[in-house]
Structure 1
């Protein structure tokens, strides 16, 4: 008998039956009265005795984190001096006078982002070069020393106000590393950093997220010292005290970093979370004997998270709509398409993380037209696809309902659009099934599942069947459900019935949502266009006139074979590769593509040219910033065209200390 069944049964007291033998009429009256009293007592018991909810499992999200999971689509805005110097990481010696976006329009920028369906914006208020986009009192290296608004501008204010106007939340990025500050590396700088945080968190209204970068310490200008400054990342900033300040000033803000406190970096900048992607996490330091900190974790563990981790710390997937984080004119033809963004939406938000897409304004202070068009198309895909839930109005039957209490724990809660109402089972039932009878036959290719995360992340794995050709057939499977799981089917199916089977769980489930959607017809149109463009590009591809020099090893040709999947690796970290043409050419620069896994990625380089292969002179040197996390195509543009028959790329240093690797090396003419 189920635990609550006896509460619904009502039996008359046996003494009433004995009374019938003594005095029929009186007994009848007495019996009826007793039965009524007994029934009333039983009904009262039914009202007061309820089935207890499941005990929470593992660590749990805070209210701020629960609010976050309702809006998992945000935009980054990287904008600053790098936009005008064509760099990714400024050295810190750039003149603020270079910052002059003459047509800056915060409304155009935020509106372009909003039309993509994004719910919030995070602005890089200060990047590693130390240039502040607001009139801070902490340093003169700020926007008041630029021509912007005649030295009286506040770009942070303008973006913040545009966000409020278009209904988007506003967040701030403040780089802990400052390559301009003379005091960087001392306690004085830590106090300066906290003062900057205080300004941003007290002068610009409600802040929804505070973003801390893991890049800390290295080469820099540092007020003219021009040196390398290393810090102990595990102790220098004293992150717990920084978080305490942020909690005090903005109690509703989420705090992002490699180690949280609320959200973790996903461990890559390529636009994907792992499969599975657990919303709990235990950071592990990459420095033996030290506590994990921002910039010192084993980031490869962040991609999947930690099952039964120490902290509730969901992942944030940050990547850019372009190869670089800042706008570069040379990348105007490399903007991600709406279809590409759509794929990455399923690889990020669809795996229980947030999708944080960078949209960098150009030198005019506007979102470039190509970027804006693709954002609008992406927003259309979202709107059209998720406009109608095909499971709405469905009926469901489950193999078990917690305590037999259909009202509180029945499967009807799977369709009520409330993430915190849920279907659950008795404590000992960990692998139940629920069958969903749809309102007629429906055609769909997306399944959405959610758990009531107030009770923790409970389900390890499940499978979904469809009733096809008169039998159940497996159509999808998933690990780690959490606050949002989107399963995209390889093809559309049509059925009037599906079944969800919990395969593994350490406790009873608390499943809150089963929804079905049909991808917009626009997806098929964009896929067809992409195939046509790919075929056209393949037909136009021709071998480069630049070949690896004969004195290089035989495998060096892998670097010029037009195949990014093949990689040439040098014998050591400071390897070099030389290419040559049949005659002297006018050259504008080179392009370097690292291996897709970042192994041996060159971060410090030198480029030299020669007309005869004997006399060489250097034409460029520098750093490929952030290349370990973002191994994308790097361009080196010479200051003036040079005459060359031979070109040599020399690796001065690699980001991971491994032998230098080149997937592709090409010449710009």
Structure 2
């Protein structure tokens, strides 16, 4: 009987500890500062967040029509017939970054110009209407297959802003259009490990600003690719706030959420909430005891630090000699991964469809 009591007691302790080990936790009005600190110490990442944080290094591949127009931001009116990377080798891309220690890549499946690197059925502004492989090409597929071959994670960036779509600015029509494209990416290319959004948002052809339906998009991702982290306009991963490769000296993973967000968490029974917390200020202190002592809830919300190996995000011939050196890249590692974030380093392939030799040398060094 005493053994049964002991086992029951140990089981109750285990249940109690597991109850504390959540990625979200509520703060009660009666909680003392010590109670809040204790709760903060027991907020943990979800399985998808833990896997993501253990990567340390993710590579970004900015590649698209901008590579051929020598622009950073296209306007959606480009002549896509000029898109024809005659030497494209996605295996070279993936092997390059894997040899340098990266464990995952993200491809710009669609940038702000609206040009799609896969043969989307929902627009003509896509690779199927280019000379590349006589209109039969699919670079999303090529990169996904290369990632599978080299056993490395695969993610996609789908720009919410689309400067080509006539639907943009008609929020209902465009959100439906966006979900169709998102569904294509999440359904046809195997396992997706990260879906990356930014907050770029301009006016549509009707002069109206598009209202994005992020919550609907998050639910779609959770349904089709539940293991994928959603960044950086998303509930799993936040943007560090700068594109310099430098995180804060103390980059907290546990942050406060405000009352409105806490109600949403409660309504979702803390099972798999689809919102991201409010970050009160973009200063040097987001999650210290001083910050969390008046919080109404706490959430695990880690930072991703992004930067490009070159001055621009796309490959520009004029920037060939301006790639970051091995020493600069090592410093960036220390100020990103070394400061409790994941480094997302952009390595843009050139017009031929290859990563430049100079960039490869710097990465290897």
With the length of structure 1 as denominator, give the TM-score of the two structures.
Answer: 0.45
Q: Show the 5 A alignment for 1:133-152.
A: 133-152=117-136
Q: 2:180 aligns with which of 195, 198, 205?
A: 195
CA shift, 1:241, in A, is 1.5
Q: Show the 5 A alignment for 1:248-287.
A: 248-258=223-233, 260-282=234-256
Q: Is 2:341 aligned against 1:356?
A: no
CA shift, 1:298, in A, is 7.0
Number of the residue aligned with 2:265? none
Distance 1:350 1:246, change over 3 A: same
Distance 1:44 1:126, change over 3 A: closer
Q: 1:230 aligns with which of 194, 205, 209?
A: 209
Alpha-carbon distance in 2 for matches of 1:283, 1:217: 28
Number of the residue aligned with 1:329? 317
Number of the residue aligned with 1:319? 307
Q: Show the 5 A alignment for 1:392-541.
A: none
Q: 1:209 aligns with which of 171, 175, 194?
A: 194
Q: Show the 5 A alignment for 1:16-27.
A: none
**Secondary structure in 1 aligned to 2:156?**
strand
Structure (1 or 2) with the greater helix fraction: 2
What do you get for the CA RMSD once the two structures are aligned?
Answer: 2.8
Alpha-carbon distance in 1 for matches of 2:166, 2:191: 31
Alpha-carbon distance in 1 for matches of 2:46, 2:83: 40
CA contact (8 A) 1:267 1:302 kept: no
**Secondary structure in 1 aligned to 2:59?**
strand
Alpha-carbon distance in 2 for matches of 1:373, 1:247: 38
Number of the residue aligned with 1:104? 88
Alpha-carbon distance in 1 for matches of 2:149, 2:285: 36
Distance 1:242 1:302, change over 3 A: farther
- Render the CA deviation track for 1:514-565: whole Å, top value 9, x for unaligned: xxxxxxxxxxxxxxxxxxxxxxxxxxxxxxxxxxxxxxxxxxxxxxxxxxxx
**Secondary structure in 2 aligned to 1:332?**
helix
**Secondary structure in 2 aligned to 1:355?**
strand
Number of the residue aligned with 2:33? none
Mark the structure with the bigger radius of gyration.
Answer: 1
Higher relative contact order (CA 8 A, sep 6+): 2
Structure 2's unaligned 5+ residue stretches are 22-38, 259-273
Structure (1 or 2) with the greater strand fraction: 1
CA shift, 1:303, in A, is 6.7
- Render the CA deviation track for 1:165-208: whole Å, top value 9, x for unaligned: 11111000000000001110111111110000000000000100
Number of the residue aligned with 1:180? 164
CA shift, 1:69, in A, is 2.2
Distance 1:176 1:282, change over 3 A: farther
CA contact (8 A) 1:267 1:303 kept: no
CA contact (8 A) 1:273 1:303 kept: no
Number of the residue aligned with 2:282? 301
**Secondary structure in 1 aligned to 2:305?**
strand
With the length of structure 2 as denominator, give the TM-score of the two structures.
Answer: 0.80
